[in-house]
Chain A
Amino acid sequence: VLHTTRPLHTTQQSLAPVPPLPEKGGEVRHGLIPEEFFQFLYPKTGVTGPYMLGTGLLLYLLSKEIYVVNHETVAAASILTVIVYAVKKFGPDVAAFADKLNEEKIATALAMKNEAIQSLETAIKEEKKEQWRLEGRNYLFDAKRNNIAMLLEANYRERLMMVYNEVKKRLDYQVAMQTLKRQKETDHMIQWVEKNVVQSITPQQQKESIAKCILDLKALSKSAHAAV
Chain B
Amino acid sequence: MNLSFFDQFSSPSILGIPLILISMAFPALLIPSMGNRWVTNRLSTVQLWIINLITKQLMTPLNKEGHKWALVLTSLMIFLLLTNLLGLLPYTFTPTTQLSMNLALAFPLWFATLLTGLRNQPSKSLGHLLPEGTPTPLIPALIMIETTSLLIRPLALGVRLTANLTAGHLLIQLISTATVSMYSTMPAISLLALLTLFLLTILELAVAMIQAYVFVLLLSLYLQENI
Contact = CB atoms under 8 A, between A and B. Distances in A.
Interface of A: 1, 15-16, 18, 21, 25, 68-76, 78-79, 81-82, 94-95, 97-99, 101-102, 105-106
A12 B176 CA distance: 57
Given A15-B36, A71-B3, A105-B39, A76 B90 contact: yes
A117 B49 CA distance: 30
Contacts, number: 80
Shortest Cβ-Cβ A-B pairs, 6 listed = A76-B90, A71-B176, A98-B42, A74-B176, A71-B177, A75-B176
Contacts of A102: 39-40, 42, 45
Interface string B47-91: 001000000000000000000000000000000000000001111
A79 B89 contact: yes
Give the size range of B's interface with the partner.
20 to 34
A72 B194 contact: no
A101 B177 CA distance: 44
Interface string B25-48: 000000000001111111101100
Contacts of A73: 90, 176, 180
A68 B90 contact: no
B15 interface: no
Contacts of A79: 88-90, 201
Interface of B: 1-3, 36-43, 45-46, 49, 88-91, 172-173, 176-177, 179-180, 194, 197-198, 200-202, 205
A21 B37 contact: yes
Contacts of B176: 71-75, 78
A97 B198 CA distance: 28
Contacts of B198: 78, 81-82
